[in-house]
Structure 1
């Protein structure tokens, strides 16, 4: 029989936490990742990845009303992305990863949440596999001979 006034002890979820440090939160952070070419596209998502110079990987998620008009769908997609990222976040150190929903889930094909969940899981997992790959090295800038001024932009 439960006693009144006694609360269960909350266990730590530090191994699976999604702290603020692991999120892209500011407009500038999102903009700097969006400025890059998309790394990969799937049927419903676009993946952007860039080096962030930090030890921890960070995740940004964009799910607009245009492609998921119901809040339940938007929340489902965001929960799935966060959960898949959280389970593999040790693979994403030093990267900012941004996933953006780019297409609707047509009602005719995705009548149930289970169908949406199954498709999202497959696409997001595949995109996160790509995000975990080594980042391409940026080509070095050509060296200017000493004494020549920088060319005007």
Structure 2
């Protein structure tokens, strides 16, 4: 069991209720215009009727061919989502440009830091915009 327990709906968990998992849920968020764009990501948002925010992450193989890269991006995104106090919205983060180069793979510390800053700015824009 993790340090925050396996059940419980605390603000820093990523329980199934906080995920967007169904295709039609993704589609309904994608139908709207992108809320924010950054160098590598596009953030789509939509109000929801739940007491909390939900997250979906889309990392295409064509932009991140290695599984380790895709998983790193998803992990970073989920971590920032958990620690950012978002209003009750559905967020879908989509990788929009390739992140890997042989000289600078996405698992390298400098690129991870840059991606973390990008994602933090995207989420921060939503906390300000919805207040």
Taking the aligned partners of 1:85 and 1:113, their CA distance within structure 2 comes to 21
**Cα deviation digits, residues 72-111 of structure 1 (max 9, x gap):** 00000000000011112xx223100110000012415524
1:129 to 103, 114, 124: 124
Unpaired segments ≥5 residues, structure 1: 1-8, 137-153
Return closer, same or farther for 1:65/1:10 CA change in 2, 3 Å cut-off: closer
Q: TM-score, normalised by structure 2?
A: 0.86
Partner SS for 1:92: coil
Taking the aligned partners of 2:36 and 2:15, their CA distance within structure 1 comes to 26
Taking the aligned partners of 1:84 and 1:77, their CA distance within structure 2 comes to 11
Taking the aligned partners of 1:46 and 1:122, their CA distance within structure 2 comes to 14
List structure 1 runs of 4+ shifted beyond 6 angstroms: none
Q: TM-score, normalised by structure 1?
A: 0.75
Aligned Cα root-mean-square deviation (Å): 2.0
**TM superposition shift of 1:118:** 1.1
Rg (Cα) greater in structure = 1
What does residue 115 of structure 1 align with?
Answer: 110
What does residue 105 of structure 1 align with?
Answer: 99
